[in-house]
Amino acid sequence: MASETQIVDRLKRGEEEAFSELYEIYSAPLLNHLLTMTGKIELAEELLHEVLMTMLTKINFYEEDKRLKNSFKAWLYRIATNRAIDEIRKTKNVKFEEATLELVDSKNIEEDFELIERDEKIQDFLNRLPLMQRTFMNLKINSDLNHLEISRICSCQVNTVKQGLFQARRTLKNMLLAEGVEL
């Protein structure tokens, strides 16, 4: 299997196949990252489109950072995060998506409903966090990026990331305990 560096090199030469491969790897995680930040699926999809087009036009400016384990991923998430922050600044009042979540291949409606309820609750908790803490949590938990990579993506100090994650976890833990969830 080709390494990510090789795929990126091929994309720099304009190969559509390389774009498809990167799309398969990153489209869903990026969409969810943008959704966590903006709270609207339509907006997240629109931003994903813009982010991927920016990736294509700016790919020749990308240089691998050897200090980062996931250099390209961090670069791409940085584009997405900056774009989402710009959009949030523009709209200011962003609420988490109200639409029900699409669940494919679920066994029955009741089960679906429970899942939707639980997921919405969790999303609601997450949405109550400040934007940066929410972003740190999402990048850490769902995108498996380390402190240094998150700090590069969010243009902040590593200690700010650590502090943000600490505060986010503490707040979420308290919310769960308040809901009677046993930890």
Chain contacts with other proteins (rule: CB under 8 A)? 13-16, 19-20, 23, 27-29, 31-32, 35, 41, 44-46, 48-49, 52-53, 56-57, 101-103, 115, 118-119, 122, 125-126, 137, 140-142, 146-147, 162, 165-166, 169, 172-173, 176, 181, 183
Lookup: tokens for 31: 């969409």
- Smallest distance, other proteins to C-beta of residue 20, A: 8
- Smallest distance, other proteins to C-beta of residue 46, A: 8
Distance of CA 22 to the CA centre of its chain: 16
Contact 84, 37 (CB under 8 A): yes
Q: Which of 33, 59, 62 is nearest to 48 (CA)?
A: 33
Nearest residue (CB) to other proteins, 89 versus 180: 180
- Smallest distance, other proteins to C-beta of residue 60, A: 8
- Smallest distance, other proteins to C-beta of residue 162, A: 6
Nearest residue (CB) to other proteins, 92 versus 107: 107
Contact 149, 70 (CB under 8 A): yes
Distance from C-alpha of 52 to C-alpha of 89, rounded to nearest angstrom: 21
Nearest residue (CB) to other proteins, 2 versus 28: 28
Nearest residue (CB) to other proteins, 55 versus 71: 55
Nearest residue (CB) to other proteins, 54 versus 82: 54
Contact 58, 78 (CB under 8 A): no
Question: What does 142-181 look like in DSSP terms, one character per residue?
Answer: IT---HHHHHHHTTS-HHHHHHHHHHHHHHHHHHHHHTT-
- Smallest distance, other proteins to C-beta of residue 178, A: 13
